[in-house]
Amino acid sequence: MNASKLPSQQGVSTMKKGFIFSLLIALATVAQASPYKTLRMTTGEQQALTTQHSVKRSAMGNPAIASLKVLNSKQFLITAKQVGSTQLLLWQGSGDPTTFKIDVVPDIANSSTAGVAIDASGNNIVLQGRTQSLAQHDQLISEAGEKVIDNTVQQGAIQVQTDIRIVEYSRSQLKQIGTALARTGGDTAFAVGAAGLLPNISGIIGGIDSLMGGLVTSSNTSSILIGHAGSNFNAAVNALQQNGYAYTLAEPSLVSLSGQTASFLAGGEFPYPVSSNDGQVQIEFKEFGVRLRLTPTVLSENSIMLKVAPEVSDLDFSSGVQSGGVSVPALRVRRTDTAIQLAPGESFIISGLVTRNTYNNADKIPGLGDIPILGALFRSTRFEQDDKELVMIVTPHLVKPIAKNTELRELPGDIYKDYTPSFTSMLFGNPQKGSKPAVSKKSSAGVGFSN
């Protein structure tokens, strides 16, 4: 009796199929009744909207963002007023309305939006994608306005190699052999130097003969240049260095990512005592020497902004102090902090860090100069000043790592790493005995980074 009341297996299967079919019809009805379209407009733009059927009623969600003008029952004119997002509803029959989502974004030039998608979210502008440079990113943020959500990232990791040459030259020595000063409104700021040191100076700084009507010529000046420098400036510095008027303190080459800080120190650390709270003396160390901190920022492929902070310090025992019977020297420091903008491969010179030292030189005739009172006639005292100026030559380059699996060129001396000369070859230079150095057949690809 109970078994007769249970539905058959075939009846249950029929009921399941009927339920699934009804559910699919309901979902299809909802999908047809709720069409959703998006219109993307810029501020001030107008778009004409045409429908297939006559519209009985319309409604704009936020008329302050976009306005709707009815031309006839099938044609409408939409005007974007301000940045934001709103909805437009159109009733074309007895069913649910057709919904249009209207996103109004700022009028940004297409050239600045390459690779970046601009969308509206409420009253905010959403930026997504990859920017090609920092200049493009700043332009997008500026044009998008204050209500912007920035989800962009800069494309690729741009690396900058900065070559720095720190040179110190003696102004006093140059004054002793004659100086010349010139100033122009162009790239050259001034030239100072030794007479006849660089006979071809006119070719180095672009015709210095005509700077001051013949007063400064290639025969009476060298080239210490402050401002933009050409590729031949290092040759002028080398000439001064070979003649003993200048010498290179450091010549680092730093590589860092755009926006990241790189540092360099050539010098040492000196100990100095520090008293702690419990009265004990501890030893700490202070760095000195040539220090450099720089932060390159790539604005575009043709523009790099460099923030440079050089510092040169040396020990000064004449100004030191005594602490616990120990002489602690002072530090004589020259530092500057500046920001410059230049193209890759261009050089810029930073100068003006001057140090003045005063010396007391006493000359006397042995024996006679030590006689009281009369000895003053046989001795002399001379005070001398030595002025030294620091010059920095900064040259940035855009670089990238060498491709994977690229064969690198041999380093100097690598061909001799397995060379075992015999005793006779070392004594008499006989190349016939002993194993010869292997000759490398690797390609001469660049080492480290390539431009």
The domain 32-105 belongs to what CATH superfamily?
Immunoglobulins (2.60.40.10)
- Which tokens belong to 195? 């007479």
**Do residues 219 and 208 touch, judged by C-beta distance below 8 A?**
no
Instruction: Give residue 54's identity as a one-letter amino acid code.
Output: S
**Do residues 130 and 118 touch, judged by C-beta distance below 8 A?**
no
> Which residue carries 């690779």 as its tokens?
115
Rg (CA), the chain: 40
448 — alpha (psi -120 to 50), left (phi > 0) or beta?
Answer: left
**Do residues 30 and 93 touch, judged by C-beta distance below 8 A?**
no
DSSP state for residue 445 in the 8-state scheme: B
Per-residue confidence (pLDDT) for residue 244, from 0 to 100:
72
Beta bridge partners of 150: 127
Instruction: Give residue 95's identity as a one-letter amino acid code.
Output: G
Neighbours of 105 (CB within 10 A): 22
Per-residue confidence (pLDDT) for residue 212, from 0 to 100:
36
Per-residue confidence (pLDDT) for residue 447, from 0 to 100:
41
Q: What is the DSSP string of 184-249?
A: -SSSB------TTS-TTHHHHTT-GGGTTTTSS-TTS------BEE-TTHHHHHHHHHHTTSEEEE
- Which tokens belong to 225? 């240049």
Q: Structure pTM?
A: 0.49
Beta bridge partners of 350: 392
Q: Where are the domains of the chain?
A: 32-105, 110-154, 162-399, 402-451
**Do residues 89 and 56 touch, judged by C-beta distance below 8 A?**
no
- Which tokens belong to 397? 């380059």
Per-residue confidence (pLDDT) for residue 157, from 0 to 100:
64
Distance CA 61, CA 48 (A): 18
> Which residue carries 């755009």 as its tokens?
258
Distance CA 151, CA 116 (A): 10
Pure H helices in 90-232? 134-144, 171-176, 201-204
Identify the helix (H) or strand (E) that includes residue 29: helix 9-33
Cβ-proximal residues to 338 (8 Å cutoff; 6+ apart), any chain: 307, 308, 309, 350
Identify the helix (H) or strand (E) that includes residue 310: strand 303-323
For residue 23, report the phi and psi dihedrals to the nearest 5 degrees. Answer: -65, -40
Per-residue confidence (pLDDT) for residue 451, from 0 to 100:
53
Q: Which residues of the chain have pLDDT under 70?
A: 1-36, 108-115, 120, 122-123, 132-134, 145, 153-157, 173-243, 324, 359, 429-451
Per-residue confidence (pLDDT) for residue 36, from 0 to 100:
66
Rounded (to 5) percent helix, strand, coil in the chain: 20, 45, 35
Burial 356-394 (b: 16+ CB within 10 A, else e): eeeeeeeeeeeeebeeeeeeeeeeeeeeeeeebbbbbbb
Per-residue confidence (pLDDT) for residue 340, from 0 to 100:
86
Burial 138-157 (b: 16+ CB within 10 A, else e): ebbbebbeeebeeebebeee
Per-residue confidence (pLDDT) for residue 400, from 0 to 100:
81
Per-residue confidence (pLDDT) for residue 42, from 0 to 100:
82
